[in-house]
Amino acid sequence: MTTVVETHSLSKSYGSVEAISEIGLEVQEGEVFGYLGPNGAGKTTTIRILLDFIRPTSGTASVFGLDSKESSRHIRRRVGYLPGEMTLYDRLTGRDVLAYSASLRGGVDWSYALEIAERLETELSRQVRTLSRGNRQKLGLVLAFMHRPDLIIMDEPSSGLDPLLQQEFHRMVDEVRAEGRTVFISSHILPEVERICDRVAIIRRGRLVTVEDIGTLRERALHRLEFHFGEQVPADAFAGVPGVQDVTMEDGVLYCTVLGSPNALIKAVAGFDVVKLVSEEPHLEDVFLSYYGDGENNAA
C-alpha cells in the first residue's frame, strides 16, 4: 500500500505558543482520512505545513513521498485544496474563477468541472462578491475537485452547505475513493466524519490523541437517548443493561447515555409501549472527555 501523506514528529510553535507538537501521521492511497478535533486544535496548522504555506519548527512532512518544503510546487500540481477560509477575486464571476484556475493548471476537463458545479448547484454567473458564504463554499469545492487530483485536502468542507448538498458532497467523496484517489478532511463535525471516513486521527490542543478506524470510533461514541413510554415503567427495569449509563426516569421518560451500540437497550425497552424516541448525536468534546481523559496524553 502506498503512503500518500506522512509526518514525523511534526511541530510548529509561535514563540511560546505551541500550535502542534510531535504529530505523526500516515495516510494511505485510496482512503478517506479524517483529521478530527475542536476548533483551534491544530488541524489547519498541519494542513498548511503539508502544502508548504508555513514551515514547521521541527519534524518532517511528505506528500507522495516528496518533502513538503523541497517539492511543494510538484505536490500542489497533484492536490486539490479547499481552505477553511477562502479568498477569491471578488469582481470575477464564478465561471471566470474556474476558468482562471483551469488556465493556471494548464487546462482541465471543462465538462467535468461544469458537472461538479451543477451537482453542487453552484452560482457561476454572479460575481464572487455577491455570493453568500454557502455559495462561496460550493465554488471552492468545485475548484478542489475539478482537475481530478490524486489527493484532495479539505478544511471544514461542508461548512455552509445545506443538508441536501452535504449529501451530494458525501457522494462526491465516495466517488473519489472508488477511483483510488485519496481524501484528507479536517473537521470538527463527528457525524460527517463517521459517514465518509475510513480512518481518523484525533487531535486536541495540538497533540495527537489517537489514530483509529471509523468502526472503533463508533464503538466509543456516547449517545444520549430519551424513551417516552405510554405506560408507567420502573427505572430498575434498565439497571445493569450493558453499555447504558446515567439512567433516570422522570414522568414516564427514560433518560440515559449509551456507549457504543444501543442494541441491548433496544431489547430491554421492547417489552414496553414506546411512543417516542429522541437521540442526540454525541459532541466531539464528549468523545474526548469520556475516552481520552483530558486529551493531554499522546497515543499515536
Segment 78-88, tens digit of pLDDT: 999 999 888 88
pTM of the model: 0.81
Segment 158-174, tens digit of pLDDT: 888 898 999 999 999 99
Tell me whether the CATH fold assigned to 3-78+149-218 matches the one assigned to 222-281. Answer: no
What pLDDT does 257 receive? Answer: 87
Grid coordinates representing 103 are: 488556465
| pLDDT higher than threshold 50 for residue 295 | no
| pLDDT higher than threshold 90 for residue 30 | yes
Which CATH number among 3.30.390.10, 3.30.70.20, 3.30.70.100, 3.30.230.80 corresponds to the domain 222-281?
A: 3.30.70.100
What pLDDT does 285 receive? Answer: 58
Q: What are φ and ψ of residue 283, in 5° steps?
A: -85, 150
Give the class (CATH, top level) of 3-78+149-218: alpha beta
Grid coordinates representing 38 are: 475542536
Segment 207-229, tens digit of pLDDT: 998 898 887 776 677 778 999 99
Nearest to 207 by CA among 8, 21, 66, 43: 21
Percent of residues, the chain, with pLDDT higher than 90 = 66
User: From the centroid of its chain, how far is CA 40?
Assistant: 14
What pLDDT does 253 receive? Answer: 93
Q: Could you state, in order of their start, the residue ranges of all structural domains in the chain?
A: 3-78+149-218, 222-281
| pLDDT higher than threshold 50 for residue 299 | no
Nearest to 257 by CA among 282, 274, 236, 275: 282
Nearest to 134 by CA among 86, 67, 92: 86
